[in-house]
Amino acid sequence: MKSINALFAALSLTMLMVACADAPEGQKVEANDAVATETTDVAAEAVAYVVDTEDSEITWVGSKPGGEHTGTVKLTGGELFVENEDLVGGSFVLDMNSIANEDLPDEKKGDLEGHLKTGDFFEVEKFPTATFEVTSVEPATDNPDATHSITGNLTMKGTTKSVTLPAKVEMTEEGLMATTPKFTINRTEWGVNFKSGVLGVPKDKAIHDEIGLQIKLNAAPQTAEM
């Protein structure tokens, strides 16, 4: 009987580890070659909305066997362009030095945050910012969680890739709000390869290649006080 109980316990542990190693929740977003952009793409009639960095945020999720970690990244600035009450372009900048963990106790979160800032992950000393530059905006027709499909160049750790993100864009009395549902990107596309399966790391020791992200942007007209 003990051997049977031990077998069930081992199977349960294995199933738990496999489940915990699953990719973070969200729509998988493919990375493609960067798209050429020109500042003249935005019409002269478009109104610039300044991103409120205090009221905007990016949340992240990373997973591995044994669990997952969650956290945030702050923004240093950005502009969104609006024409005829609709988003037509823009860009924003992420402060990679602001990477923060939210699920670990204080005595442990510092170690994780410090490791994420090293060359194993985002190498923030060399690449202190990441940017997203909108290249096109289209209505979303097949996603109940989004009003628009926003394509743009995401530059991170010196690599630029084009991605298309679902987003819900709303005009409010204060300005513009753009929020994505949860989505994932493959970190190895931007050279973040630490403990990745692409390096041959065994599955039970690998950190999942997919990073979960969710973006919330609030912006106000440039002439208004933030």
How far is residue 71's CA from residue 49's CA, in Å, rounded to a whole number?
27
Say if residues 162 and 92 touch (Cβ distance below 8 Å). Answer: no
CB 187 within 8 A of CB 161: no
Q: What share of the chain is helix, strand, coil (3-state, %, to 5)?
A: 20, 45, 35
**Cβ distance 56 to 90 under 8 Å?**
no
Tell me the pLDDT tens digit for each residue of 131-165.
999 999 999 988 888 999 999 999 999 999 999 99
Per residue in 46-82, pLDDT (tens digit) is 999 999 999 999 999 999 888 999 999 999 999 999 9
The Cα 132–Cα 154 span in angstroms is 5
For the chain, domains (ranges, CATH) are 23-221 (2.40.128.110)
- pLDDT score of 223: 66
DSSP 190: G
Residue 102 carries which side chain, given as an amino acid letter? E
Q: What is the pTM of this model?
A: 0.86
Q: Output the DSSP codes for 194-219.
A: TT-GGGT--TTTPPPSEEEEEEEEEE
